Structure 1
């Protein structure tokens, strides 16, 4: 399982541990990933995703999964999220 957010594409970064003696050793900064089930209003079901805590706040800020995916770039989304985005768009056009 890769350590990449399914909605934002946020992944591990690298940097240095710096000791009190100013010794530098390489380290990894991992994203804060959580397994969540987000509700889709258009599909009337939950979608399980592995997303970062910051992405979860962004989803809440934008007003839910449907609105977040509508504005999200396809290049940032995982294959699962892209599939859900297309399903939601299809359901919304059929609804209107």
Structure 2
């Protein structure tokens, strides 16, 4: 599984480490994606989502039912 948020779509950023001598080496900034379980009351089961912290805040704000509905509208399998 790549580090990609299912809800917000956040993924790693890419760039360069730049040393004092201006030598550039590739690097990547990983998204803060964590796996969380949420209770889906309508289906009486747990769903496991890979979310960034911003995605977790979104779930807290709109609710897990609306978040799962949004994921299904995007074509994600939940």
Which residue is equivalent to 1:7? Answer: 7
More strand by share: 2
* In 2, Cα distance between equivalents of 1:3 and 1:45: 25
Mean Cα displacement is larger for which, 14-23 or 51-60? 14-23
Q: Deviations over 1:10-60 (max 9, x none)?
A: 222201222334332221111111111011121122111222121111110
Q: Deviations over 1:56-94 (max 9, x none)?
A: 1111011x21112334551xx53x23xxxxxxxxxxxxx
Which residue is equivalent to 2:41? Answer: 41
* In 2, Cα distance between equivalents of 1:4 and 1:28: 13
Q: Which runs of 5+ in 2 are unaligned?
A: none
Alignment RMSD:
2.1
Using the size of structure 1 for normalisation, the TM-score is 0.64
Q: Which runs of 5+ in 1 are unaligned?
A: 82-96
Using the size of structure 2 for normalisation, the TM-score is 0.75
